[in-house]
Structure formats: structure tokens, C-alpha cells
Amino acid sequence: MTNTSRRRALKTLSLSAILLCTTAGFSAIAQERTSVKIGYVVSKTGPNAGGAGITTIPNYVLWAKEVKDAGGLELPGGKRLPIEVIEYDDRSSAEEVVRATERLATQDKVDFILAPWGTGFNLAVAPLFDRFGYPQLAVSAVTDKAPQFVKRWKKSFWMLGGGHDYTEALAGVLTKAKAAGTINGKIAMISVADGFGIDLVTAARPSFKKAGLDVTYDVTYPAGTTDFTPMINEAAKGGADTFVAFSYPPETFAITQQAQVAKFNPKVMYLGVGTGFPVYGKNNGPNAEGIMSLGGIDPKNEANAAYRKRHEDVTGKAPDLWGSVITYASLQMLQEAIKRKGIDREAVSNELSTGSFKTVLGDTKMEDNQLRTLWFGGQWQNGQFVAIAPVDRPGATKPVLPKPAWQAK
């Protein structure tokens, strides 16, 4: 071998040694991981704060505490790592939820991102979750387009059903009430001009038409509306004895109060998000009786009752009676998927899609990245917001109609 050949061979060996050392160094760094970074962006202020502060944030707080108390997130092999939580307030701004979510991915480089609150905000960040490879467990999002979204964003998971699920359930209740002569089958309907309201009202129109129900008033209002008196008055003029509002929490509370002031007392009153909040029942007392909405719970479900107690003990507030337990279950699923697959987001996403999990909901499994075993209708009865649909699901309570007349305060 010539001197030149020997020098080239030695140089090659040296480079190989450097590469081996470098690779070993990277492995050591990976093995020396000391925490798992969890990030989320949620509405802590602004008009969405009421919903996020009931359904989403307390469950994130509860879960983080329980992980800490357990010694951290368990990884394959039994090792546990503490979680490092990074949170941002989106201030109820769609632009800010997008900016802050990108910040979590590109600057904070978190391992996993928890979903924001609200249908519109989950849709706004879905492309980012997909682009950066994060599983998106979208709990606070109702959409009939979930099957299409799953094909577009393969790591997205939609856990609250679609608009047609809820409107078909409501149409079924109303059809029986009409057949019994309890209501006249005329409906006055209003909806918020947001992803949630649009999805629900788009589903409601064909659901009601197919059921032979007559929509006499159908108006969409902008988010942030506070005065519903003109809409209530117009609804009353049309002779409808069923009033439906696909509303967000601030509007739900306002509509309830303004209907009482206007002495508008329909036989069926179905309102949107916020109806299932414990504070709704507390604030309205006997005037909450008979009011219907999405969701509901089986009050005899022991696992749900135990979860509710833990939630209140840790956060100081009761969970809502619709999405809260599903939010918590989604975190249990994520935790178990990490235990099985580690921090690899691709593997975790695949496990969420295909695996079966023990959660507070019971045995939980996705169907095409969607949760399908849900309560689609609830009603306040005797101070509890009980599930009334699907009617054939064990634990369902029979609806009580007509709604009692408003009681004077």
C-alpha cells in the first residue's frame, strides 16, 4: 500500500470514529431525557373562557396533577418521566390559537400538544397538528365532516360526534312528542355563526324536515351577540312551541334569562353549549327544569361519579355534564398510548387509532379515528342533567315534556 493510500485509509477510519462518537453522544443525550413536554393553547380569557374554563382547563389540571402524583408518565419498560407543561392563552382569538400552537411546535418543541376548546379553534389548528406530526385529540369539536378530516389529517381524532348525531336524536324526541299531541311540531331555530353553530344547523334542517317537523323561524346570529330579545319575539310570533338555539355559553345563559323576561315559555326549549354546566342548573334553579341540550350523563354510572368527585376535589369546581368526562378520557388514552409506545408521535398516533383503552368511559376504542359511543341528548330533571338519547342505550332517562312554566323569582 502506498503512503497516499495509507493516509486515505487512516483518514477514513478517523472520520468513522468521529461519527461513531457523535452518534453515541446523541444516543446518550436521548437516553438522558429528564421530562416529557406537554403544551396546550386554550381560551383563558375572552368570550370562550367560560366554556374552556369548565370543559377543558380543569381536566388538563387534574390530569397533570395525577401524572405528577404517580411519579410521571410511564414509558415502555416501566420508566417514568415527569411532565413539563407549557400553556398559552389564545384570548379567544382564532389567529392567536394558530400562532401559539405553531410556537409550541417550532420554538418550545413540545413532545405532545393538547387540543384547544371549541369547534372552530380545533379546525383552525388541525393543519398545524398535521404538519408537525402531532396527534390531535379534538374533544370540544362537533362536526359532521370528521370522516373527511380524518382522511386529510390522519393523526386527528374527533371525539364529540357530528351535528347530525345530535339533531337526529332531538328530532326523534320531538317526533314522539308531536305524535302524542304534546307539541304542535313547529320549531323556531337560531344558531351562532361559528363552526359549531353552522355544523348543527346544517344538520338540523334535513333532520327536522325528514321527521315532518316545520321550521317556522331560522336565523343565524354573529358570535358575541348579547341581545336576543328581537329573535325571541319573532320566534314567538310564528306560533312555534319548540325553540332551538345552537348557542355557545354566553348566549345560552343570556337566552335563558331574556326568554324569562319576555315571558316566552315554549313547551320545548333546547339550548347549546353551557346548558350542561353545573352553574347553569345552580343559577336557574327550578327554571332549568325540562330544558334540553347536547350531552347529558347517566347519574348511576359509578366510574363517572368517581371521576366527578376527583375533579371537584382537585380543581374546586364540578365538571360539565357533557364534554368534561370525554376530555379526561382522551387524556387517559394519550397516557396509555405513551406507556405502550413511548414518545414517538407516529407510533402513539397509530396506537390511538387502533388500540383499545380502559378509561372513565369504560372500554374505549376509536372507530375511524372517531369516538361513537356518546350521549347525544340530555335534559334537566330534578336538578340533574340526565342523558335522554340514544333512547335505547342503557342508562338513558325518559324525556319529560312539556317543559314546566317559568317560575317567578
Asked if 219 and 141 sit in the same domain, the reply is no
CA 269 to chain centre: 23
pLDDT exceeds cutoff 50 at 29 = no
The answer, yes or no, to whether the previous bond of 76 is cis (omega within 30 of 0) is no
The predicted pLDDT at position 32 comes to 76
Residues in a beta bridge with 188:
217, 243
Asked if 109 and 180 sit in the same domain, the reply is no
Asked if 253 and 383 sit in the same domain, the reply is yes
Asked if 149 and 173 sit in the same domain, the reply is no
Q: Domain range spanning residue 77? A: 36-162+302-365
All three cell numbers of 278, joined, read: 353545573
Establish if 67 belongs to a structural domain.
yes
Weakest mean pLDDT among 23-32, 106-115, 307-316, 345-354: 23-32
Establish if 201 belongs to a structural domain.
yes
pLDDT exceeds cutoff 50 at 27 = no
In sequence order, what DSSP letters do the residues of 128-154 get, joined into one string? HHHHHT--EEE-S---TTHHHHHHHST
In sequence order, what DSSP letters do the residues of 273-329 get, joined into one string? TTTTSHHHHHHHGGGGTT-EES--B-TT-HHHHHHHHHHHHHHSS---SSSHHHHHH
CATH number at residue 52: 3.40.50.2300
Establish if 4 belongs to a structural domain.
no
Asked if 215 and 268 sit in the same domain, the reply is yes
Task: Tell me what percent of the residues of the chain surpass a pLDDT of 90.
Answer: 90
d(CA 129, CA 150): 12
d(CA 69, CA 36): 15
The predicted pLDDT at position 31 comes to 53
pLDDT band at residue 14 under the 50/70/90 scheme = very low
For residue range 38-60, list pLDDT tens digits in order.
Answer: 999 999 999 999 999 999 999 99
Asked if 134 and 167 sit in the same domain, the reply is no
Asked if 52 and 141 sit in the same domain, the reply is yes
Which residues are within 8 A (CB) of 283 and not within 5 positions of it... i.e. 6 or more apart? 253
All three cell numbers of 335, joined, read: 397516557
pTM, two decimal places: 0.89
Asked if 235 and 381 sit in the same domain, the reply is yes
Asked if 382 and 240 sit in the same domain, the reply is yes
Angle between helices 195-210 and 163-179 (to 10 degrees): 40
Establish if 157 belongs to a structural domain.
yes
Q: How many domains does the chain have?
A: 2
pLDDT exceeds cutoff 60 at 401 = yes
Asked if 126 and 140 sit in the same domain, the reply is yes
Contact 382, 373 (CB under 8 A): no
Establish if 401 belongs to a structural domain.
no
The predicted pLDDT at position 22 comes to 43
Asked if 69 and 53 sit in the same domain, the reply is yes
For residue range 280-325, list pLDDT tens digits in order.
Answer: 999 999 999 999 999 999 999 999 999 999 999 999 999 999 999 9
Contact 46, 122 (CB under 8 A): no
Asked if 384 and 249 sit in the same domain, the reply is yes
Establish if 243 belongs to a structural domain.
yes
